[in-house]
Amino acid sequence: MPKDRIDSKLFQAHVPNGRRWLLWLLYKVFWRTVFGLVIGLRYVRNAKPHPDGPIIYIANHNSHLDAMSLMTIVPSHRIHLTHSVAAQDFFGTSGFRKWSMQNLVNAVLISRTKDGRDVDPIELLDAMLNEGHSLILFPEGTRGVPGLMADFKRGVGHLASRNPGVPVVPVYLDGLYRNLPKGRTMIVPFGGTLVMGDALHFEGESINEITEITQKAIEKMAYELERENQLPRSKNASR
């Protein structure tokens, strides 16, 4: 479907002021307090300024807390323009769940099966970027095995290749699967780390190359964090 035929209502292009304030309170006050004081999430940012304008955020995915944690690092004036990409077949199964995802998480729901699609997901997400919105993607496609990262799907490659002026910001999330394990509904304070990497810029790379580069960027962040967290070996242990 051509970009000019994408109905902006599909991704709530015009967010009412009341919901803008609600999203700001949720992520800059409530969730930031939960992550910082209750969970004990450590934020590690790069030294460069946060890019402004539309951004494609990508992260590994092990917990339902992942999307909320990424929303807390979005600049205040861009929160209402930033959307997690979530599965329609999981989060749209009831009216309340769908309403919550769209109004409290600010998510855009897409179908993972061709039968349930009103519009091509890539065309919809592409149109959102062109309208100045930002996206939060989990390129693994679903929550995987806790602590492990699966191969990335090519959605990020498609979007970044279509939008060479939009930076891709990699984020590595460590430990959030312990705070809200799969199948649980209660948050427990086990700490964790959110590492925000330098923005990646693509122009001319293939879809497969972009997919590979973005996955390696997050794998490198994971490796560096693991090395940082390793305790030095004692002299006795080395004997």
Domain ranges of the chain: 51-228
Instruction: Give the pairing of strands 82-87 and 56-59.
Output: unpaired
CATH of domain 51-228: 3.40.1130.10
Contact 190, 146 (CB under 8 A): no
DSSP percent split of the chain into helix, strand, coil, nearest 5 = 45, 15, 40
CA atoms within 13 A on the CB side of 50: 17
Taking only the tens place, the pLDDT of each residue in 139-164 is 998 777 777 888 999 999 999 999 99
Residue 107 contacts by C-beta under 8 Å, 6 or more apart in sequence? 67, 83, 84, 85, 86, 91, 101
According to the model, what pLDDT value does residue 29 have? 96
Whose structure tokens read 């997050």?
218
The conformation of residue 200, written as its DSSP 8-state character, comes to B
One-letter amino acid of 239: R
pLDDT by position in tens, the chain (length 239): 444 456 666 666 667 788 899 999 999 999 999 999 999 999 999 878 899 999 999 999 888 899 999 999 999 999 999 999 987 776 656 778 888 888 888 988 887 666 656 678 899 999 999 999 999 999 998 777 777 888 999 999 999 999 999 999 999 999 888 887 676 667 778 889 999 999 999 999 999 999 999 999 999 999 999 888 765 543 443 33
